[in-house]
Amino acid sequence: MVRQEAMTEMTGRARVGTRARFGHPYARWRAWHRIAPRPVLLLASVLAVGVSAVPLVYLAVRTAEAGWPRIAAALRTPGLVELTLRSLALTAVVTAGCLVIGVGTALLVVRTDLPARRFFAVVAALPLAIPTYVAGYAWVSLVDNFHGFAAAAVVLILCCSPYVYLPTVAALTGADPATEETSRALGRGPWATFVGVTLRQIRPAITAGALLVALYVLSDFGAVAILRVNTFTLAIFTSFNLGFDRTGALVLATALVLLTMAILVGELLARRTNARYARVGSGVRRPPARIALGPWRPVAVVGVAAVALAALGLPAAAMARWFRVGVSRPGSLAEIAAAMGNTLSFSAAGAALTILLALPIGLLGARAPGRVAAVLDRLTYVTHALPGVVVGLSLVFFGINVAYPLYQTPWLLALAYAALFLPLGVGAVAGAAAQAPPGLEEAARSLGRGPLTVFRTITVPLTLPGIGAGAALVFLTCMKELPATLLLRPTGADTLATELWTHTSVAAYAAAAPYAALLVLLASVPTWLLAVRSGATGPAVLGGGS
Amino acid sequence: MTDLTVTGVHKHFWRRERGQGPVRALAGVDLTVPSGLLVAVLGPSGCGKTTLLRCIAGFERIDEGSIRLGERTVAGPGRHTPPHRRGCAIVPQEGALFPHLSVAGNVGYGLDRAARERGRVDEVLELVGLAGYGRRMPHELSGGQQQRVAVARALAPRPAIILLDEPFSALDAHLRAELRRDVRQALQEDGATAILVTHDQEEALSLADQVAVMRDGRVVQQGTPTEVYRTPADAWVGGFVGGAVLLSGSPSPTGARTVLGDLALRGAPPAAPALTVLVRPEQIAVGPPAPDAVPATVVALDFHGHDALLTLRLADQTTTVAARVLSSAGTPTVGDPVGLRVTGPASAWPA
């Protein structure tokens, strides 16, 4: 901070004329530092990003190796166009559905006198705790003949609406009500104010949420596999599993990556035009005025409650129905314990590797911010956006052909987890590093403590909690990962997620129930944290002000 | 006892953008801080005062020159003593208390066990007026209290010098005055040597034993507050360290001839055909129009309660000057014709 200040203080001041200090002993060191402010950190960050990019790079290498004739043949398959259209259609339908439910619920909860809005504010975020394949399992196990496009769309909309809901709530609570009051004072009516001021303030958040949903749907494997909708992810998995058409799987994976990239580019463009709307000025923010729903109150309550019932009540009902039978099945407890053990150890390895790779990138971003650090940080998101099935597939080939000693070990799976979840770790490390700003370390140095003592007594105690929380978040996220785990787990080593998937695919719903319950339990921890942080339970929602 | 001596220090930064040359931050700074005194480094933002502080503390390497603490050269050609071996304790702008340590933990951070057991922590906490606060955590303190702890933390290990980096700028005005006094007293009672970096001339003049005025990476004048105010090194310093009326003039037998008449000068008049003459607003006495006074009209009045600042237009209709008068029943108001007299000597430099 202080260094930054000193730097900016200098900007714009007179330049040194002819006596530029190129002959000075520090000159070379300085010139290097200008490009790489922290050489060791930078090198480690590049290495880390390189490791996380292995799946993407190897996929490109293998696809290129297959040769153009075989790629062309695979592309000419009549099914490909249909596959693309179906995937895009599902993405569009689910995104639209999530927009309606997410934005609608957010507005009702933050800006109206909806009864029990504190309760609904939390409930609307909870579907995040239900992995899509658990939701798919719940619907299939309770509703007869629940298959196909519409079924998958319903399940995905219910699971993904929090991705729109949470950022919208955060934007609505963060928006300054004073701007709305100013608009009203300037003679705009309530509706014109809502469209012209409120909606424009929260539009970036809504857009970000919608793109998140689109990416999620494109990469989702669990729900479409269980509900038997042949989208890209399922087609890749099937084509790989059948074993006779590996080039086909690679080409499909590449096509899916290109689709994902297109959406990512769209996100970047949207981000550029939707510049963040900063709140100008300070002062204590008052809670916004709430709109009285009047006669529409019961309708709104019924609507919000129906969505909550479908998203949360139905999975709960499925588990309640099958759980007792599932647990009392002979041998089930030993099977669950084994799966739990595998899940814990694989996820621990994944979390450890992820944080290890995230440390240099996060520290670089916090301590030497600049274009290089920003680019490296962005690069971690590229693999993060890849569907798990693509990462898994690429690493299977990588393991067989390049890193055979790793193949069939948990470490290859850990690499997949690290590639998929690296941004979570980087965010945690960067946030933790902000807890120990350089100013504190400088103050400690000036009091006569050496660099190692300062690191031990100041830096570590201040950053450890944040990094630990990040590791826990990655750990929990790894536990519910399905497609990459299916492809990369050592033979015979089942996890909670794969057991649920296996049992569901043979309609053994009772046997699957304990796994579903455990997974929901695990997934609710990060969901709770997210709901708390995004302000869904913050004072603007919980506080009175009606 | 250790004096701090800064001699000819240069420091350059590289711009972050590609293709830009180095930026000069310090261009030959000379500064002496005698042991036991508080020296204020005063300058506008961007003059390099924070960089100077960071160079003394050892957070930045200097390009040229030397920094000596007593007989010890801590920075110079081929030498850079790391910050923790210099004994220059810093009090940052926002305090920068270690959030995970209690007040006592913060204050005792730079102490060895023996010093802690001798009760040095309580001693310095009492000095800054926070006796009994040892077990509080930093977040339980107000902004002013946090700054007091930061000062106590810096005092505790008895460093060779204490570096205060605009420590009062983030506080409310009424809190600031009280804290300044208390910090000054704590430093004096502990016999500490200190540098205070500030852009607030009132703070520098009222607090420091000596003031060093910085501009464009150089110390342009160092002296007692009275010296700097009464005999500024140049017109810029004169204007920066207080209210100033700058007039153009020419040499005359008694001093300098200006629109305010023939003014007596402090020292010999400079040998130049054209002069810049500085008069302080409180030197201009405002009375009723009189034949021996310079006629003027009041065009604006800033009322401060105990005194008032008048903006006056002279009879030539182009020159305006400022005068500070004690407020009384006879204070003129806007539109009044008045007569001006200059009391005491003015300063002058070649224009």
Is residue B146 less than 8 Å (CB to CB) from chain A?
Answer: no
Query: Is this prediction's ipTM beyond 0.85?
Result: no
Q: What is the pLDDT of residue A429?
A: 87
Nearest CA in chain B to A465: B100
Amino acid letter for position A103: V
Burial environment of residue A474 by CB neighbours within 10 A (0 to 12, 13 to 18, 19 or more): buried
pLDDT, one tens digit per residue, over B229-249 is 999 999 999 999 988 899 988
Which CA distances in Å does B343 have to B234, B263, B279, B292? 21, 9, 9, 13
Q: What is the mean pLDDT of residues A295-324?
A: 90
Say what the pLDDT of residue A105 is: 94
The stretches of A77-148 forming alpha helices (DSSP H) are 78-111, 117-123, 132-142
Distance CA B37, CA B194 (A): 6
Out of A25, A370, A461, closest to residue B16 by CB: A370
- Predicted confidence at residue A66, as pLDDT, reads 77
Second CATH level (architecture) for the domain B243-350: Beta Barrel (2.40)
8 Å CB contact of A443 and B51? no
Helices (H), A175-245: 177-185, 190-193, 199-219, 222-226, 232-242
**C-alpha dist (Å) from residue A497 to A204, A478, B290:** 34, 10, 100
Q: What number of other Cβ atoms are within 10 A of residue B334's Cβ? A: 11
Among A residues 346-385, those touching chain B with beta carbons less than 8 Å apart: 370
pLDDT (0 to 100) of residue B311:
92
Per CATH, A47-55+329-505 and A77-278+286-323+516-536 having the same topology is answered yes
B243-350 has the same fold as B4-87+159-236: no
| Tokens matching residue A68 | 């153009």
pLDDT band for position A537 (50/70/90)?
A: very low
Residue-averaged pLDDT of chain B: 89
pLDDT tens sequence across A234-249: 988 888 887 656 777 8
Q: Kindly report, residue by residue over B114-127, the tens digit of the pLDDT.
A: 888 889 999 999 99
Percentage, residues of chain B above pLDDT 70: 98
- pLDDT tens per residue, range A196-209: 888 888 888 888 88
Closest residue of chain B to A24, computed from CA coordinates: B63
Residue A498, pLDDT > 80, answer yes
Q: What is the structure's pLDDT at B198?
A: 92
Residue pair B72/B56 in contact by the 8 Å Cβ criterion: no
Give domain limits for chain A.
Answer: 47-55+329-505, 77-278+286-323+516-536
Cβ contact B89–A7 (<8 Å): no
Report, at the CATH architecture level, how domain A47-55+329-505 is classified: Orthogonal Bundle (1.10)
Q: Tell me how far CA of residue B332 lies from CA of A10, B86, B287, in angstroms.
A: 46, 57, 9
Chain B residues close to A440, C-beta within 8 Å: 96, 98
Whether the pLDDT of residue B7 is over 90: the answer is yes
pLDDT at A162 > cutoff 60: yes
Q: Cβ of A448 and B159 within 8 Å?
A: yes
Three-class secondary structure of residue B1 per DSSP: coil
Q: Tell me what pLDDT residue A19 has.
A: 35
From A16-25, A239-248, A292-301, the region with the lowest mean pLDDT:
A16-25
Alpha-carbon distances of A43 from A49, A120, A310, A373, A375, rounded to whole Å: 10, 47, 49, 11, 14
Residue type at position B233: A
| Structure confidence at residue B21 (pLDDT) | 67
pLDDT of residue A250: 84
CB A439 within 8 A of CB A394: no
Indicate the residue of A9, A16, A31 with minimum beta-carbon distance to B45: A9
**Rounded average pLDDT over B236-264:** 89
pTM of the model: 0.74
* Averaged pLDDT score across all residues of chain A: 81
pLDDT 10s digits, B30-63: 999 999 999 999 999 888 899 999 999 999 899 9
Indicate the pLDDT class of residue A532, thresholds 50, 70 and 90.
low
More confident residue, A498 or A69: A498
Q: Are B53 and B195 in contact (CB under 8 A)?
A: yes
Predicted pLDDT of residue A375: 84
A363-382 pLDDT per residue, tens: 888 877 777 888 888 888 88
Assigned superfamily of B4-87+159-236:
P-loop containing nucleotide triphosphate hydrolases (3.40.50.300)
DSSP B74-99: EEETTEE--GGGTTEEEE-TT----T
Q: Which of residues 439-468 of A touch B (CB under 8 A)?
A: 439-440, 442-451, 454, 457-458, 461-462
> Average pLDDT in the A153-164 region?
93
Q: What is the pLDDT of residues A394-453, one digit of tens each?
A: 998 898 888 888 888 899 999 999 999 998 888 888 888 888 888 899 999 999 998 889
In this predicted structure, what is the pLDDT of residue A370?
Answer: 75
* Distance set, CA B96 to CA B101, B149, B167, B193, B256 (Å): 12, 10, 11, 21, 52
Chain A CB contacts of B88 below 8 Å: 446
Question: What are the residue ranges spanned by the domains of chain B?
Answer: 4-87+159-236, 243-350
Query: How many pairs of residues across A and B have Cβ atoms under 8 Å apart?
Result: 133
Using a CB–CB cutoff of 8 Å, tell me whether B291 touches chain A.
no
Does the pLDDT at position A278 exceed 50?
no
CA-nearest of B269, B312, B277 to B293 is B312
Best mutation site among B9, B18, B50 for testing chain A: the one with the most A CBs within 10 Å?
A: B50
Q: pLDDT higher for B27 or A282?
A: B27
Contact B152, B107 (CB under 8 A): yes
| Architecture label for domain A77-278+286-323+516-536 | Orthogonal Bundle (1.10)
Alpha-carbon distance of A509 to B66, in angstroms, equals 79
pLDDT at position A5 is 34
Whole-angstrom distance, CA of residue B95 vs CA of residue B150:
5
User: Over 90: is that where the pLDDT of B177 sits?
Assistant: no
Highest mean pLDDT among A63-67, A123-127, B87-91: B87-91
Pair of tokens at residue A267: 């996100």
Is beta strand B255-258 parallel, antiparallel or unpaired with respect to B261-264? Answer: antiparallel
CB contact under 8 A, A446 and B89: yes
pLDDT exceeds cutoff 90 at A345: yes
Other C-beta atoms closer than 10 Å to the C-beta of A30 total: 18
Q: What is the pLDDT of residues B76-101, one digit of tens each?
A: 988 899 999 999 999 988 888 998 99
The C-alpha angle B338, B343, B347, rounded to 5 degrees, equals 120
